[in-house]
Amino acid sequence: MKQSNNTSRREFLHQSAVLGAGAVLAQSSNLFAEKSSGLGNGPYPAEGMAGYSETGPLQFLKFQRRALGPKDVAIKIHYCGVCHSDIHTIHGDWGNIHYPQIVGHELAGEVVAIGTSVSKFDVGSRVGVGTMVDSCRHCPECLRGSENYCENGNTQTYGSKDRDGSITQGGYSTFVVVDEDFVLSIPASIDLAGAGPLLCAGITTYSPLRHWSVAPGKKVLVAGLGGLGHLAVQFATKMGADVTVVTTTPDKEEDARRFGAKDVLINKDGADWSKYKRAFDFILDMIPYQHDLDRFLPLLKRDATFCRVGVGKLTTPNEYGQMTTVLERTSLAGSNTAAFERLRKCWISALLRTSNRRSQRYRWAESTKRGRGSLRNKPGTVSLWTWR
Ligand SMILES: [Zn+2]
Ligand SMILES: [Zn+2]
């Protein structure tokens, strides 16, 4: 690699990140199309917004994405969805992390360079990256296409040890380099801002609904109407289920019904849910903090399943009574995102079709096009940047 080429690309990337105009991004594709043919494949200077402590605001960070491996693609990130996992991670709720840490695992953008063996994408491809960027590839789970349950631990999009020993940095940044096996194609008919949130919130709720065979005639309880819950209601409704929503926020009732719920329970102390005892075939729990599971488990029919996908602070686990599952032979389960091959083959199109009522209130994506100036100078534009 000639140093002059490398230097000029870095300067260009820096400028495009700062300026962030669509025209500049279009130029970047052309530039990389030329350079990806062998004139240099990184490492890629990148910029992002990182947590530097458990409680401080996100702050600007310059860093480098790795050089392209044969199967890697470099992606210019246009949008990144905001997930509660990001907040849990920065706050250290799920264990100690290495600061500075950039979070964000609902990336949507455009391929700007490809490695020599990449076969699924080309420069200019519209793509997304979700919660994982690698896995061991050889354990029984990986071999059966369930890398989200990799026995050796998959590499998460942020906060994981990467193949080169560095800690992965997430999507609130300008560029990312990812193995093509962990990149999804986004159809031209789908806007990138809307596609990102499906890659964590979407698949995390869609996967258990499919696994536990939600279908017409089934009664489903969706616990928590937030970023995940508002998609879960829509998916379960489209699958034909009779959906009820539980929320602590009374003014979400109208939204819940608009998303497809037939009934809404307000979760507050003293609420009488006795008429819902043994009423549901499946409960999907998205509540991201400690709560009383004994309010929910008795609402399951015999042999039915309560599945958690929301995870709170690990030091404050949920508890439930010893007899709760025994009396009705019910199951308490959990589920972790979804496998890529399944997503690629069929789920992504289903997700995109069925989540047509998106709502800024429940899930949004941050644009990285505005560049660092906007991110730094307008922290009040979105709560993410000032969550503490
Ligand atoms: Zn997430
Ligand atoms: Zn594995």
Can you give the pLDDT at residue 369?
62
pLDDT at 205 over 70: yes
CA 200 to ligand 1 center in whole angstroms: 5
d(CA 299, CA 302): 9
Span 70-121, pLDDT tens digits: 999 999 999 998 888 998 899 899 999 999 999 999 999 999 999 999 999 9
CA 304 to ligand 2 center in whole angstroms: 30
pTM: predicted TM-score of the whole model, two decimal places: 0.83
Can you give the pLDDT at residue 352?
65
CA 322 to ligand 1 center in whole angstroms: 31
CA 12 to ligand 1 center in whole angstroms: 31
Q: Which residues pair with 132 in a beta bridge?
A: 156
Which ligand neighbours the alpha carbon of 135 most closely? 2
Q: Determine if the peptide bond prior to 317 is cis (ω within 30°).
A: no
Q: Which residues pair with 222 in a beta bridge?
A: 245, 284
* Range 139-152 average pLDDT: 96
CA 132 to ligand 2 center in whole angstroms: 12
Which ligand neighbours the alpha carbon of 144 most closely? 2
**Least confident span in 44-48, 244-248, 368-372:** 368-372
> What is the residue-wise DSSP string for 95-123?
S--PSSB-----EEEEEEEE-TT--S--T
High-pLDDT (> 90) share of the chain, %: 58
H helices of 188-298, in order, are 192-195, 201-211, 229-238, 253-259
CA 163 to ligand 2 center in whole angstroms: 13
Phi and psi at 207, nearest 5°, equal -60, -50
56 falls in which pLDDT band (50, 70, 90)? confident
d(CA 79, CA 196): 7
CA 152 to ligand 2 center in whole angstroms: 5
pLDDT at 223 over 60: yes
* Range 224-231 average pLDDT: 91
CA 339 to ligand 1 center in whole angstroms: 15
Residue type, 297: L
Which ligand neighbours the alpha carbon of 140 most closely? 2
Cα 231 to chain centroid, rounded? 12
Q: Are 289 and 313 in contact (CB under 8 A)?
A: yes
Give the environment of ion ligand 1: residues with CB less than 5 A: 83, 85, 200
Nearest CA-CA partner of 182 in 258, 43, 72, 63: 72
* Average pLDDT in the chain: 82
Can you give the pLDDT at residue 133?
97
